[in-house]
Amino acid sequence: MTNDNIVEPIQNQENPIEDVQVWSQRLIGKTIVFDNVAITEETFHKRDLPQVNRVLRPNDPTTRDYRRERLNVITDDNYKVTNVYYG
């Protein structure tokens, strides 16, 4: 089963605020899955994120480098998305 609701938007370098709003609407409240399992309305596959991304749970170590094209997906301990931003 595929989830047609998760389609990678074109990264809008001219208007990254609009692009992050699209990702926020699609991801916040959903849970990331990493394996080849069927997804539901409440989940999405990590592979459906833009190529340059990082998924961060509370207390995960991170680097402080700024990468304009990187989508940061912030989750709770159970991989439920709470925030999305570029950088």
Which pLDDT band holds residue 77 (cuts at 50, 70, 90)? very high
Please, what is the average pLDDT of the chain? 86
DSSP the chain: ---TT---PPP-TT-HHHHHHHHHHHHTT-EEE-SS----TTEEEGGGS-SSEEEE-TT--------TTPEEEEE-TT-BEEEEEE-
Domains identified in the chain and CATH numbers: 16-86 (3.30.10.10)
**pLDDT band with cut points at 50, 70 and 90 for residue 26:** very high
Q: Give the pLDDT of residue 7.
A: 44
pLDDT tens digit string along 41-61? 999 999 999 999 999 999 999
Q: Report the pLDDT averaged over residues 20-40.
A: 94
Distance separating alpha carbons of residues 15 and 54, to the nearest angstrom: 20
Alpha helices in the chain (DSSP H): 16-27
Cβ of 43: how many Cβ atoms within 10 Å?
16
